[in-house]
Structure 1
Amino acid sequence: MPRQIATNTVVDRDAMLDFVRPRHAMVLITARSDGRPQASPVTGGVDREGRIVISTYPERAKTANARRRPQVSVLVLSDDFGGAWVQVDGDCEVLDLPDSVEPLVEYFRSISGEHPDWDEYRRAMVDQGKSLLRITPTRWGPVATGGFPARLAD
């Protein structure tokens, strides 16, 4: 069986966002107060301005970490765990109620499309006290796949 060779495809911002948009499984990496990393599996999307958006709650560790140190990283995974991925570094803004409601609508649309009752959705977001993390990409790695180094292609 031929060996799968790892790939690293350098992409510009638009191509990175095109890669991220259909992928919603992500790992958000924030910094704890002692500087060590905090990894959180999350569901995310991309808003109209090209920011990665993640729904959360104000009391979650990832939210507190992002408030304290807004430089975060997001590892965007393919649905197939062995598929391509990209790491996106960026500056995170935390939006709380009432400012988070309309951005949460856009978050939902970016992942699931239209909701059957937007008023109900808005009420649910308020009732749950939801917050939104909005990450402006500042740097990203290549779109990569795992496998053997090219020197082992045989």
Structure 2
Amino acid sequence: MARTVASTRTVDLTELLDFVRPRHHFLLVTLRRDGRPQVSPVTGGVDEHGRLVVSTYPGRAKAVNAERDPRVTVCVLSDDFGGAWVQVDGDAEVLHMPDAEDALVDYYRCIAAEHPDWDEYRAAMRLQDKSLIRVTPTRWGPIATGGFPADVAARLDAQDA
């Protein structure tokens, strides 16, 4: 049985955003005050301006950290844990109510399409005092898949033959 070989594919910004758009499982990494990473599993999307967007609350560590230090990293995962992924570094902007309201509508649209009642959704976002983190990509790694290095897979396959 052939082994899975790890792969990487370097992409430009357009290809990166095309890869990210259908994927909504993110790991958002912000920096704590002491410089150590804070990792948050989040649902995310890509807005119409090519920014990665995440909904949160004002007091959450990710929002507080991103406001203090806007340098963040997002790891975008495929639905299948063994699928392709990419790391995106960027600059974060945190929006709070009432400034976040329209941006939260855009966030919902890029993840789940149209809401059946936008007035209800907006009222819920205001009641919950939601915030939004927008990340402008500044650099990114290649789109990668896990597996064995090619030479190791070949040796293992030869051993099994």
User: Shorter chain as normaliser: what TM range?
Assistant: over 0.9
Could you list the runs of 5+ residues in structure 1 that have no partner in the other structure? none
Deviation of 1:153 (Å): 3.1
How many residues are aligned here?
154
Map 1:123-134 onto structure 2 (within 5 A): 123-134=123-134
Deviation of 1:46 (Å): 0.3
Partner of 1:4: 4
Higher helix share: 2
Partner of 1:48: 48
What whole-Å deviation, never above 9, does each CA across 1:17-58 have from its counterpart, x for those lacking one? Answer: 000000000000000000000000000000000000000000
What whole-Å deviation, never above 9, does each CA across 1:55-93 have from its counterpart, x for those lacking one? Answer: 000000010000110000000000000000000000000
Whole-angstrom distance in 2 between the partners of 1:153 and 1:13: 31
Deviation of 1:150 (Å): 1.4
Partner of 1:119: 119
Whole-angstrom distance in 2 between the partners of 1:2 and 1:121: 49
Could you list the runs of 5+ residues in structure 2 that have no partner in the other structure? 155-161
| Larger Rg, first or second structure (1 or 2) | 2
Give the counterpart letter for 1:48 in structure 2: E
Whole-angstrom distance in 2 between the partners of 1:20 and 1:67: 24
Map 1:54-93 onto structure 2 (within 5 A): 54-93=54-93
Deviating 4+ runs (over 6 angstroms): none
Partner of 1:138: 138
Give the counterpart letter for 1:22 in structure 2: P
With structure 2 as the length reference, what TM-score do the two structures score? 0.95
Deviation of 1:152 (Å): 1.6
Whole-angstrom distance in 1 between the partners of 2:152 and 2:144: 17
Deviation of 1:134 (Å): 0.3
Whole-angstrom distance in 2 between the partners of 1:153 and 1:129: 51
1:152 equivalenced with 2:158 (yes/no): no
Superposed CA RMSD:
0.5
Q: Identity of paired residues, percent?
A: 66
